[in-house]
Each structure stands twice: as C-alpha cells, then as structure tokens.
Amino acid sequence: MTTSEILAALDRASSAVGDLIDSIPADGWAAPTPCTEWSVQDVVRHLVGMNVVFTAMLDGSPMPERGPDRLGADPAGAYRRSAAALQAAAALPGALQRSVETPLGAATGVERLRWRVADLLTHGWDLGQATALAVELPDELVEPSLAFVRAQLPGQPRTGRFDEPQPVPDGAPAIDRLAALTGRPVPWPR
C-alpha cells in the first residue's frame, strides 16, 4: 500500500467511524458490544486512546499515560480531535517510512497505520452492531484491510487480542468477513 493510499484509507475509515459516533444517542453509550467486556463508550474510549498512541508513534512524542479518561463530556468531539491529530502526524515528512520499536516489535508508520485502519473498521462494525446504526464501510475500503489482517494474523498471538475466527459466508460483505476473521460472530446476536 502506498503512502497516499494508506493516508486516504485512514481518512475514510476515521471519517466513517466518526460519522457513526456522532450519531450515537445519549442512551446508547452503555450498550453492550461484540467486544464482550466493552460497552459502546468503552469501544470509543479505545479508539481515542489508540489514536493518541499511534499519533505518538508517528510524531515521536512521548507515549501517553494509560488510564486517563480522554472522552470527557464530548466523546464524539474527543474522537474527532484524536483522529485529526493522527492524520496530521501521519502526514509529517518521514513519519510513514520511519520504523518504530514497540512491545509488538518494529514496524514502519505505513505498517502501523494498516493495523490502525483495520482496527478502526472492525470497531466501526462493532459500534454499528451495538447501536443498530448504519455505518458506511464499503468493500473497496475494507478489502485491503481484510487481506492485510488475513496475512498478518497467522504469525501473531490471538490471546487477549482476538478470538478465534468465526464462520461467515464467502459472499458476505468485506466488513463482515473482517469481523469474523477477528473473532466476532456474524451477525452479532444482540
């Protein structure tokens, strides 16, 4: 995936998920999600937190502290601000070519963003399932992430990160196939 392609995919995935988050009703934040231990608010908290972590990896700033509530009274705004900061960090000269060492190993910014986009898309699916809100995750956006995750997961531990793959029809939308590959039952039984 080229630099411009990953930046475009990040922008599209971030925007689609942001549009969904903007639509979550006040009574929807406590709803359960396919991430069995997380509510809708917890998933959004994870998305914001990971945007902050990826921003630090790309712009070279110190890693953020774990634990603080980054959502505050405006979770949708917190998400949009974190997504904009990540997009800006990704656009910095050399950010996508530089290799960064983390507990998961060394990877370039492009490789990190490929995981970030896959995570955004998968959790966008989670939020859509949990809220019954429509999310625009077209196949042409999801297919590259599905291929990437399919190629990467066999060499990575699933414990604590992903459940075992779930069955899904071959002709299912790419987002359903990505969700199933990462251990979500499709469709998710509410």
Does the domain made of 3-181 have the CATH classification 1.20.120.450? yes
- How much is the mean pLDDT over the chain? 92
Are residues 86 and 57 in contact, defined by beta-carbon separation less than 8 angstroms? no
Q: Is 63 exposed, middle or buried (0-12, 13-18, 19+ CB in 10 A)?
A: exposed
Judged against a pLDDT cut of 80, whether residue 92 lies above it is answered with yes
The answer to whether residues 142 and 121 touch, using CB atoms and an 8 Å cutoff, is yes
Amino acid letter for position 4: S
Helix (H, G, I), strand (E, B) or coil at 75: helix
Beta pairing class for 105-108 and 99-102: antiparallel
pTM of the model: 0.93
Burial class of residue 32, CB neighbours in 10 A (0-12, 13-18, 19+): middle
Task: Report, as an integer, the average pLDDT of 110-118.
Answer: 95
| pLDDT tens, residue by residue, 155-171 | 666 566 678 899 999 89
Q: Which of 66-70, 118-122, 123-127, 179-183 has the lowest mean pLDDT?
A: 66-70
